[in-house]
Structure 1
Amino acid sequence: MRIPAFMLVAILGVFPLSPAAAQQQPPYWASIDEPEARMRTGPSTEYPTMWIYKREKLPIKILARYKAWRKVEDHEGTQGWMHARLLSASRTGLVLATNGKPVAMRALPDPDAKIVWRAEPGVVGSLTLCEKGWCLFDVTGRRGYISMSDIWGDEPLK
């Protein structure tokens, strides 16, 4: 059975894309999913390698898509291309070097809450529940709330 084009448009208008599918339109957050990932100058293995990342779970901002390639940006602002198989949809964050001191991870999303852990600059962890300036940050099972100003990988993208 064939569906006329005008009916298909009407059906799609009633059933919009799922949040997960909509999130996959750049820009969006991802993370490196391999122990070694090459950033290239263009979307093909024919392009030279700019950087080799040896840090699994490092947060990456996806800026554009071209076939199986993603234009990405790292926490230092470096942009290049990575193959999609090197990336995961898992949200992670990188603790920023704020005065070179460890950053407090708190029991509650409040600056006066008890400090349960401290994370060194450069530590990577999983992010969940990001709202009102705080994210729940998990570093190999050690969980606590961390201020959004102390991590990279959490800001809303448009």
Structure 2
Amino acid sequence: MNRCAFLIPFAALALSAGAAASAANDEKVPYWASIDADIANLRVGPGESYRIDWVYRRPHLPVKVLRREGPWRLIEDPDGSKGWMRDLLLSRQRAGMVKDGSLIEMRAEGKSSGAMLWRVEPGVVGLLGECKDSWCPFDTDGHKGFVREDQLWGTGAP
């Protein structure tokens, strides 16, 4: 067999493998994500053999992804707890959680003069749209409106 004929396919394979690995690492950390499962385990290390530290039962809970290690993500939750979770349990769908404090107002429009639709309690989780001018579209169990960005955990730069 011609040596060049052997090296060309090998070089092409090596280049494509390098491109795939590079594409997988293109996703910069930190970034926002949300829990995409009814039950999700948070572990003390990046692997099934590590002890489960927390069990989450809140789909769409916003989390901050701090680090990647293979299929594992080091995350931080709204309470500041950190641990490792499988990437399959997370979604890039943005979500927010009403910060601790008093009730906040959900408005029909993204401005203070918009009609008030509901008062939302601290700890309520909802899906986010694109925040503009300090207001975010917020959908919690079909109740849709706008809330101020500074009243949610999961907005702004991660």
TM-score category of the 2 structures, normalised to the smaller one = 0.7 to 0.9
1:50 corresponds to 2:53 = yes
Measure how far apart 1:39 and its partner are.
Answer: 0.8
Bigger Rg over Cα: 2
Structure 2 equivalent of residue 28 of structure 1? 31
Q: Which residue does 1:88 correspond to in 2? A: 91
If the length of structure 1 is used for normalisation, what is the TM-score?
Answer: 0.81
Indicate the RMSD between aligned Cα atoms, in angstroms: 2.2
Q: Secondary structure at the match of 1:131?
A: coil
Whichever structure has more helix as a proportion of its residues is 2
Q: Distance in 2 between matches of 1:45 and 1:143?
A: 38
* TM norm structure 2: 0.81
What's the counterpart of residue 80 of structure 2? Answer: 77
Structure 2 residue aligned with 1:152:
153
Segments ≥4 residues shifted beyond 4 Å: none
The count of aligned residue pairs is 141
Mark the runs of 5 or more structure 2 residues left unpaired by the alignment.
1-7
Q: CA deviation at 1:131?
A: 2.0
Matched, 1:136 2:105: no
Q: Does 1:119 align with 2:120?
A: yes
**Deviation (angstroms), 1:112:** 2.6
Give the % identical residues: 40
Tell me how far apart the structure 2 counterparts of residues 106 and 129 of structure 1 sit (CA, whole Å).
Answer: 16
SS at match of 1:85: helix
2:117 and 2:41 map into 1 onto residues whose CA distance is: 36
Mapped partners of 1:76, 1:67: distance in 2: 25
SS at match of 2:150: helix
Shift of 1:129: 2.0
Quote the offset at 1:102 in angstroms: 2.0
Quote the residue 2:69 is aligned against.
66
More off after superposition, 104-113 vs 37-46: 104-113
